[in-house]
Amino acid sequence: MNRNIKIPKIKLKFGKIKMKTMENLADEKIDYEKLQKENLKKKRTEPYETTHYKTVKEFFYKTVKEYPDEDCILEKPDHKTPYKVTTYKEFKDDVEALGTALIKLLNQKDKRVVIISETQYHWYVSYMAMLCGVGIAVPIDKELPTNEIENLVKRSRATTVIYSKMKADDIKKIRDNLSDVEYFVEMKSDKPLEGKDVGLNYLIEAGRKIIKSGDKSFEEIEIDPEEFKVLIFTSGTTSTAKGVMLCNRNLAENINAVNAYVKLYPTDMFFSVLPLHHTYESTIGFLLPMAVGSSVAICEGLRYIVPNLQEVKPTAILAVPLLVENIYKKINESIKKSHKEKLVNSMIYVTNGLKSIGIDAKKKVFKEIHDNLGGNIRIIVSAAAPIDKKVGKWVEDIGITFLQGYGLTETAPISAVTPEYNAMVGSAGKTIVQADVKVDNPNEQGEGEILIKSPTLMLGYYEDEEATKNAITEDGYFRSGDIGYVDDDGYIFVTGRCKNVIVTQNGKNIYPEEIEMLLEKIPEIKEVMVYGKSPDELDTGKKNNDKELIITARVIPNMEELDKIKVGMSNEEIYKIIWEKIKEVNKKLTTYKAVKHLELKEGEFEKTSTMKIKRYKELQKDASK
């Protein structure tokens, strides 16, 4: 896939964090005895009693029945207007109306429907209507160029495209080439049905009239848990997109899995930042709250994260490491500017000691930090890539439960998640209760390819039996492509990707991710990709008979940090500064893992929607030079 996605910079601006002195802390009215009793009650070692849902429709209709008038979806009509709240009953009414119209008016029962849009209310309505009875949902990445949108619409054999106004120009460019598409439905539009075009608002109103006339056929559709219901094209970092086929059972088992490890409540509010075409956000960020009666507040965009947090005051954020690391960095910069880092570290030490005996005073002590995040955050989940253990520990230290999830699109996506009652910062999570995870052909450190057998596992790759056979073993284990190990308690630790591994002439394996994690701590490095470069590719002017791959760091310099040293540096000066820092990191590495070559990169790395570097694209560029 020929893609050049520019990931927007995440600019977070928090207020000053002054912190009270330790002397003032003594004046705080903290009921330590009450806190200790509350926290001792929370101590547990076993999973919670979980649910046993088979379909999305089952848990969605159950939730609507129990919480009809509670908040469901919150969306801002524009930047200046307060969040508009849609209740569960209102959301269900819209889902049933749209589903009814798609079937009765547009004849789309059991057909494929593409959904392409930024995160907005009508995306949720469209996706839920598909899962509850219309046909097969095909969520597509809104950042794709038009030729790739066209390709995926054709590959999926979609007969309807539901799109946002933001994507209208792209759809207009390719619609004449999409002869099999019967209808183009624009979100937030009242346009009456005219030829192939119709507005989604119009369909909802038309569906309401059909239901009002006594037609309850959509509500009565029974869902087969095993039926192919979602087609998601991966945006992997190592290969072109594969179509992943999911069923209702896959999605429902994700809900059962999380409910065993994390207690969620109708009072919880999820803050939606990540793209919805990705299973991480659409399953855990949308379907999970729909199963427990929680609400979902839509972030307006990366520029608006802080004001949106402070307006809507959510309790849970699903994030990728880049976002969590930015929160960590910006808050600590504010603390440093206030010359309070020593005080904060002391408070962390004291509150950790209190927590160890069952007294959790962190939210009271670190109130200013919490207020910058809206004041109510109790859970931050990081997934999609490894995160620095230091960052995860800091989140826990300030009194927010830090969870990590592990999985792939092929597992819809959850294979492991951190139990909130027994956090293990540094792991990718604990194997979910329904799954069996093992390590294939482990080395002396116990590391090998992670294999997963789980009811969340996909039906297979779309129209690709060979790829499905290669990915799933005869006894039903999925080859994740991830290298790692599993400890005795079932916690998964991911150390690299099979396709990224660099093998030395002596047969030793080097996982680039391990080195990248260390290099990313260098302030002068904005982003880095480590790979093995052939000696023949090095422009040294000398013949090199050594065939050992050269461990190479391709670096995007952090000009903000470099400008603090000297404004307007030459490339040679930048190179020298970064290389000296890399040499310091090399001292922490085994000799054969040390970085031997540095490349400075201009511009951005091509990335997936979850902000992972597409290594194969970078290496393809080299090969084409």
> d(Cα 601, Cα 431) in Å, to the nearest integer?
38
pLDDT tens by residue, 299-338: 999 889 999 999 999 999 999 888 998 899 999 988 988 8
Specify whether the CB–CB gap between 85 and 74 falls below 8 A: yes
Residue 75 has pLDDT above 80, yes or no: yes
> d(Cα 550, Cα 536) in Å, to the nearest integer?
10
How many C-beta atoms lie closer than 10 Å to residue 298's C-beta?
Answer: 23
Instruction: Write the single-letter amino acid at 425.
Output: V
Residue 21 has pLDDT above 50, yes or no: no
Q: Bigger pLDDT: 52 or 42?
A: 52
Q: What is the reported pLDDT for 387?
A: 85
Three-state SS annotation for 226-241: CCEEEEEECCCCCCCC
Q: What is the reported pLDDT for 443?
A: 86
Three-state SS annotation for 27-53: CCCCCHHHHHHHHHHHCCCCCCCCCCC
Residue 546 has pLDDT above 80, yes or no: no
Per-residue burial over 477-493, b = 16 or more CB atoms within 10 Å of its CB, e = otherwise: bbbbbbbbbbeeebbbb
How many C-beta atoms lie closer than 10 Å to residue 312's C-beta?
Answer: 19
Going by CATH, does the domain composed of 501-624 fall within 3.30.70.890? no
- What value does the mean pLDDT take over residues 616-623? 73
DSSP character string of 517-575? HHHTTSTTEEEEEEEEE-GGGS--SS-----PPEEEEEEEE-HHHHHHH-TT--HHHHH
pLDDT tens by residue, 321-380: 889 988 999 999 889 888 888 999 999 999 998 888 888 889 999 999 999 999 999 999
Numbers of helices and strands, H then E, in the chain = 22, 26
Q: Are strands 414-417 and 401-407 parallel, antiparallel or unpaired?
A: antiparallel
Q: Are strands 243-247 and 228-233 parallel, antiparallel or unpaired?
A: antiparallel
How many C-beta atoms lie closer than 10 Å to residue 428's C-beta?
Answer: 27
Q: Which residues contact residue 414 at a Cβ distance below 8 angstroms, ignoring those fewer than 6 apart? A: 254, 257, 258, 283, 284, 405, 406, 407, 432, 456
pLDDT tens by residue, 59-70: 999 999 999 999
Domain ranges of the chain: 15-42+341-375, 501-624
The structure tokens listed for 460 are 């297979």
> d(Cα 140, Cα 147) in Å, to the nearest integer?
13
- What value does the mean pLDDT take over residues 536-541? 59
pLDDT tens by residue, 467-494: 999 999 999 999 998 989 999 999 999 9
Specify whether the CB–CB gap between 456 and 414 falls below 8 A: yes
Specify whether the CB–CB gap between 486 and 435 falls below 8 A: no
